[in-house]
Each structure stands twice: as C-alpha cells, then as structure tokens.
Amino acid sequence: MATAAGTATITETARAFFDACETGAGWEGCSPYCHADAGFSAQAEPLADISTLEGYADWMKGVLGPLPDARYELRSFATDPDRNNVSAYAVFSATHTGDGGPVPPTGKSTSSDYVYVMDFEDGKIRHMTKIWNASLALKDLGWA
C-alpha cells in the first residue's frame, strides 16, 4: 500500500529490500531501498568484517555461487512504527552443490533461522542488524 503522496511505506520498502537481498540481487538491486552509507551489524563470524549494508548485500549475492538452490521461507514480517523499523524472520535453506565455497562442494544442506531488523530514516534503510546462529549453519554445510 502506498501513502497518499505516492511514496512506499517502510513495510513495502523493507519487503522489496528483503526479497532483493535474499535472491542475490547484490547492492545493485538493494541500493534503491537504502541510504548509500547504510550500516550493517551481526554477531556472526562469517559477517564479522562487514559493516555496511552494501557489503552484506554483495556477500549474500556471493553465497549463491556455492549454494545455487538457496531459498527462504518468510515466517514473520512486522513493522514497529514507534521505533521506525521492520523485522523479518525467515528460514534460509540451501545445499552446497556449487563451486566457490570455502571447501569443495559437500552435498550437505542447512535450514537456518535468522532475523533482519531494518532501521529506517526518511523512508529508506539506515541500518540493518542480522540475528543468525552462523556456527550451526556452517556445521550443517560441512564448512566448519
């Protein structure tokens, strides 16, 4: 639903960003929904050195090489207007059959819960936090 001025709501923007990011659109596909200098944080080892949303979007794009069947199941999507943020809870599922991972293809699969909390400013994402137990996903895939 659009506002009277014709601009997207934060819910619509968050949903469009989430889909672009999770389907490997990279920063090119995600940037229209974000501030150019949008920040990123996560308490997960594979993401420890990533501090920008641009870096994370491109990291997600790269993940699809070793995990070509990657997909997500959105389980919850909620907007908190008082805090000007949107949270998305999903399950990421994939099998390591493609090249480009940290080890040769293992044929192993994962289904991993995660949450994005997208903070908004002026209708665009200013910062995103990813909540994810990376160590379990990496073990499932045979990467750790």
Domain with residue 50: its CATH number is: 3.10.450.50
Domain extent, residue 111, equals: 10-141
Query: What's the number of domains the chain is made of?
Result: 1
Domain for residue 135, yes or no? yes
Domain for residue 118, yes or no? yes
- DSSP calls for 8-51: BPHHHHHHHHHHHHHTT-HHHHHGGGEEEEEEEEES-GGGTT--
Domain for residue 29, yes or no? yes
Domain for residue 3, yes or no? no
- What predicted TM-score, i.e. pTM, was given to this entire model? 0.92
Domain for residue 37, yes or no? yes
- Using the Cα atoms of residue 50, residue 52, residue 54 and residue 60 in order, give the sign of their dihedral: positive
Q: Ramachandran region of residue 125, left (φ > 0), alpha (ψ -120 to 50) or beta?
A: beta
Domain for residue 4, yes or no? no
- Please list the pLDDT of the chain residue by residue as tens digits (144 residues): 444 344 679 999 999 999 999 999 999 999 999 999 999 999 999 999 999 999 999 999 999 999 999 999 999 999 999 999 999 999 999 999 999 889 999 999 999 999 999 999 999 999 999 999 999 999 999 998
Question: Which DSSP category does 88 fall into?
Answer: E
Domain for residue 89, yes or no? yes
Domain for residue 2, yes or no? no
